[in-house]
Amino acid sequence: MRLFNFRVKPESDVVLKDWPTRIDPIYQTKQHYSELLQQQITSMRDWQNKLYAENRQALLIVFQAMDAAGKDSAIKHVMSGLNPQGCQVYSFKHPSSEELDHDFLWRTTQCLPERGRIGIFNRSYYEEVLVLRVHPELLSAQGAVCVNSDTERFWQDRYESILNLEKHLWLNGTRIIKFFLHLSKQEQCDRLLKRIDQAEKNWKFSLDDLKERDCWQRYQDAYERCLSATSTKYSPWYVIPADDKANARLLIADLVVDTLRDMNPEYPKLDAQQQHNLQLAKVKLLKEKTR
């Protein structure tokens, strides 16, 4: 899988209409899809075990997308084989009053993965330069100072704060990969209709989804600016074609495995004294066993 085709190059100008929302499927049949995904999950689990045992690095995976793009299902299917002890998933909704009393990065910073763990953000601090850019009236609730004559400077400052955080994390052993699930407007319409027509999906639907859909082009513009400003070598964005959920999951799984492989965590190596102590312990246990 040529994942680099979906990577946003640093300092490039992203125009989303030039990025596909659907590509030729990687899989041939549903069975083939299941087999490919299981292979990646098995590989991911092996790397996670090493990451957890090594306890020196961490991985943060960020998911951003329009409504109904498949973030929840991607996390559910791709991360299903991971050990919950070494994996943390956080979903960020509307901020609480306590969160609003802090800087815009505070609430997500509390949830960053510890060394040895994989952290998954379902939405993230990027909401603060996406939703708030589309709905700037919400900034007043944050007590943010945004001078009308210098609005662009305000957003550039927020991008810079995000980049500084991500560079800091990278320098301290946390790798970051960021997925934008790129959904077409027509596919979103079809998925929202399914939420209405299928009783088991009714709970997923909200009239707010339609209000946000009315802002589609404004969101596309916000994402273009965000992706252009914040994709770097140490925290890259990947624009994943999301109209085919199965294909998107395979691409995401492959990239997570590729990143873990590049991190190359290893099981801790014992020194001579530790190896000697192991043998002493083994002798003692074997004696107990034969009594």
∠ Cα 129 135 140 (to 5°): 90
Domains of the chain listed by start with CATH number: 3-290 (3.40.50.300)
Dihedral, CA of residue 6, residue 7, residue 9 and residue 10, to nearest 10: 150
Tokens representing residue 252 in the block: 């995401």
Q: Output the tens digit of pLDDT for each of the chain's 291 residues.
A: 555 689 999 999 999 999 999 999 999 999 999 999 999 999 999 999 999 999 999 999 999 999 999 999 999 999 988 888 899 999 998 899 999 999 999 999 999 999 999 999 999 999 999 999 999 988 887 776 655 545 889 999 999 999 999 999 999 999 999 999 999 999 999 999 999 999 999 998 989 889 999 999 999 999 999 999 999 999 999 999 999 999 999 999 999 999 999 999 999 988 899 998 999 999 899 988 887
Question: Residue 64's CB: how many other CB atoms inside 10 A?
Answer: 21
CA distance 39 to 90: 25
Tokens representing residue 156 in the block: 């550039």
Residue closest to 37 by CA, chosen among 52, 50, 25, 24: 25
Look up tokens 């603060």; give the residue. Answer: 128
User: Whole-prediction pTM value?
Assistant: 0.93
Question: Residue 65's CB: how many other CB atoms inside 10 A?
Answer: 22
- The answer to whether 234 and 176 are in contact (CB under 8 A) is yes
pLDDT at 236: 97
pLDDT at 150: 59
The radius of gyration of the chain's CA atoms, rounded to the nearest angstrom, is: 22
CA distance 48 to 45: 5
Helices vs strands, H then E, count in the chain: 12, 5
- The answer to whether 66 and 188 are in contact (CB under 8 A) is yes
